Amino acid sequence: MDRRYFIFALTGMAALLAATRTLHAECGEMSSIEFVEVTWEKQARLHTEKTPLGDEAFYALFSGEMQKLMRAPRTMPANAPIGPLLNAFFGYGVLPGTEVEIGKIAAVSGKDGDPAMIRVTVKHHGERHNILVHVIREGDDCRIANIIYDSGNSLIGHYRAMTAR
């Protein structure tokens, strides 16, 4: 074999191996939409069964900044009304055991590897609701940075009000 052909073949094999490794890495990582689909489907099932995630598993779904806010000491006024209760994934007034149907999940903005906004359509109490999920990457994992409910309220706003931050 001619040296020129040998070097050409060796270079081609190296490029092929690099491309294969890159494709494998992309296939192994979960996209923002897949992350939201898996998370919301699982939460709907657990919610209906009245078997919520443990604290650590719950917090692990959220970004580091969101976790700090969620774990911050709360300063609720003594005369503050109790309700309506907020379910982080489905919105206000969705109590444990309430049947929740997950509808269409679609990207609103962003692309994989970048911050993305994902719309989730859910149905509970006979009504459809649109939820916007802000997903970011921390390391190789997708994390929830914020959730905006169709009422206009957000999960960050909820925790900021509770922690006076």
User: What pLDDT, in 10s, does the model give residues 2-49?
Assistant: 544 434 443 444 444 443 332 223 334 789 999 999 999 999 999 999
Q: What is the pLDDT of residue 75?
A: 80
Q: What is the pLDDT of residue 140?
A: 86
Radius of gyration of the chain (CA): 22
Q: Write down how long the chain is.
A: 165
Instruction: In whole angstroms, give the CA distance from residue 119 to residue 106.
Output: 5
Tell me the pLDDT tens digit for each residue of 46-56: 999 999 889 99
Position 102 pLDDT exceeds 90: yes
Type of residue found at 135: V
Q: What six digits make up the tokens of 78? A: 């003594």
% of the chain exceeding 70 in pLDDT? 76
- C-alpha closest to that of 146 among 154, 97, 78: 154
Return the percent helix, strand and coil in the chain, to nearest 5: 40, 25, 35
Instruction: In whole angstroms, give the CA distance from residue 112 to residue 7.
Output: 36
Tell me the pLDDT tens digit for each residue of 117-135: 999 999 999 999 999 999 9
Those residues with Cβ within 8 angstroms of residue 30's Cβ, 6 or more apart along the chain or in another chain: 38, 142
pTM: 0.78
